[in-house]
Structure 1
Amino acid sequence: MNPQAQLALALFAYAAQRGVAPARLEKLAGVRVAELQAPAPGPLSAKQWQDLWLNAAHLTQDPLFGLRFGEAATPAALGIVGQLIQSCPTVGAAVTQAAALLPLLTDYLRLEVQRSAQAFTLRFRLTAAGQAAPPEVFGHLIDFLLMLVVHELDGLVLARLELRAVAYPPAARWLPDHGRTLRAASAREGQPGEYVLEFGGNYWDVPILTGNYELQAALLRKVDELRAAQPAVGQLRDKVAGHLLANSYLGLPSVEKLAANFNTSARSLQRQLRAEGTSYQDVADAVRKTLALHYLQARAHPLKEVSYMLGYNEFSAFSRAFKRWTGSSPARYRTAGPA
C-alpha cells in the first residue's frame, strides 16, 4: 500500500475515534475507504486531500485536528514509520531517511536535515504547491507533521526528546496547544515559509527502540487485534480504550494529555467517564493489563522496558499493579505462565 493511502486511512481511523461516522466523511470528501484499501489504490487528488482535512476538522469541531491527529498517529497506521524502524539503527539515520521519504506523503513541503556538534535541525520548507494550498488545509498538515516527528521520535527511543528550539514563520499560528505538544513555551520567529525543530546533538546517535523489525511488527499487529476485539465505538470509555490501544507503542498518556487530544479538559473527561460507571484509571488499567500479559508472553522486552512502555516511571509500581491483576509477579509470570 502506498504511503498516501495509509495516511488517508489513518486519518479516517482517527476521525472515527473522535466520533465521526466514516460514511459521512467518505461522502463529504469524495474518498472511499474501500478504494484506499485496494491492492493498488490510485492517488488522491489535491481536492480530495483538501476535503479530507477540512471535513474531518469540521465534523470533529476541532480547529487543531491536524495537531491532535499527529499526536495520536501510530507506526502501525503509517507504513513510512515502519520503514524507518526496519532500516535505521539510530535517530540520525531515521530523520535523514524521513527527509527522503516525505515527498511520498505530500508535495506541500520538503524536509532538510542539518547537523552540527551541538544540535541537529529539521527544516520543513514550503514548496510552490504548499504556497498555493488553502491556509486551513496547510495548517492542519504542518501541525500533523511537526507533532508526528516529536511523537514518533519519543516512541522510537522510548525517551522524551527535548527540543532546544522551535521556529515558525512570521505571523504563523501558535497556540497554547502547540506549546504543550511540542514542549516549547513559545516559537521564535523564523524565515518565511520555514518551520524548524532543533534537537540536541546528543540525540543523533541514540539507537531506536529495536533493530528487530519483525518483532515490533508482530507487537503492532497484536495491538490491532486487541483493538478489533473492542466493542463498537459508542461510549466514551470505548473511545478512550481504543485510543490507548492504538498508541500503546508509545506508552500510556496522563489523563490531562489524553483529554487534550479529545479536545476537552481532564475534569470533563473524568466526569463523562464517571457517568458511564468507570474512570480513566480503570480504563487505563484494563488496557495496561491486556498489553502487559501480551508483552510478557512474547518474552521480547526486558521487564523494566515493559514497565516503561506501559507508562510506569518505577518498576516497583508496575510490579505491584501486575500482582494485583494476576496474583503473580511479572518475573514469575514470564517464567511460569498463567497460574
Structure 2
Amino acid sequence: MSLVHHSISIHFVITLIKAAKRKGLDYELLLQKANLNPHMLTNSQLRITPNQFSKLMRELWIMGDDDFLGLAKQKCRHGVFTLMAKQAANCPNLESIFRHMCHFYNLITDSIRLDFKLEGDLAYLSMKVIDPGLDPDFSLHEFLMLVWHRFPSWLIGQHLPLKAILLTYEQPKHVGEYRLMYPCPASFAQDSNTLIFEARHLKMPVVQTSNALRSYLRRSPIDWFTRQAYYQVFTQRVVSYLENSEQLALTSMDDIAKQFHVTTRTLRRKLNDEGTRFQTLKDNVRRDTAIHYLSQPNVPIAQIARELGFSEPAAFTRAFKLWTGVSPKIYRASPKR
C-alpha cells in the first residue's frame, strides 16, 4: 500500500466549505466526492489526506468554475491556470517563467496583481489581492503563494530555495501547517505577499516536457500538497527513518541514534535545538499513517491497528482519539446524501 506520510489540517477544508456555502454551492456533494463527512467540520483537531483535500479542491474548481475558489473579486474561470501553464512550459528559464506568470494574470484578471523585480542579489515575486475582505481566512492568499513557488519549481525540475516569504495578514492559528507549505521563515503583517529568493537561480532552465506537463495538469492539484515537509536537518532525517521503518511501533530513539552514528543524548539534543521531540515525531508519523489507511474504506480498522503495532483495536482507538479527538470509526463515517 503506497502512503504519503503527511496529512493536512481540517482547517483548510472548513474554509473552503465556508466559501462554497457563500456561493450557494452544494457543499454536501463536495464533501461526498472527497470522501469526507460533515461531522469532520466540527473538530478542528482533525487531519485529512492530501488526496482527499485535492479531490475537494478539484471538485470546487469544477462546480464553481473558478480557480480562485470563490474567494476573489471576480471569477478566474477553471482552465485559466492550464492555459498559463502550457505557455510557461515554453519559457527558457526560471526568470522568464515568473515574468510570464505576472504578465498573464495581470492581463486576464483584476482580482490579483503580480509583480516581479530584482534588487541586487535577490529576486522578489509579490502578489496583491485586490479585495482581501473576500478571503477572510486567507486561504486564497496561502494557496496562490504556494502555487507561485511550487509550479515554477516543478518546471525547472528542482526545489527553488526561498530566503523568506512575507505575508500581509497576522500570524494564523494554524501556522504550524506552514512547515508543510513554505520552505523558509514566514513573516506576517507585512506590506506585501512576497516570495524572496537568490537571483542566481533565475537562469535555471525549464526541463519539463509537454507530455510531463499534461500528466502534471491531470493530477493537479495533488502534487502541490504532497511535497515533503520542510523540516530542519536532524528532524527531517528522523522523520524519513520513521516513515521507512518496517516496524514503526518498535523503533526507538536508540535505534535511530545507532543508525546515525551518534549517541542517543546527542540526537535528543539536536532535536531539542530544532524545537521538537522524538516521541512527537513518532506519534505524528503513526497518526498520519493511520489517517491514510482510514481514508481507504476497504482496510479494516483491526488491520490498521496491527499495521501500526497496536496489540488490539481498542488500544489503537484510544491512541487515535488522543491524536485527533475522535475515534477511527467516527473519522471513517461515510458521507451520506
The alignment's TM-score, normalised by the length of structure 1, stands at 0.45
Bigger helix share:
1
User: Relative CO higher for 1 or 2, CA cutoff 8 Å, sep ≥ 6?
Assistant: 2
Q: Please give the TM-score of this superposition, normalised by the length of structure 2.
A: 0.46
Q: Which has the larger Rg?
A: 2
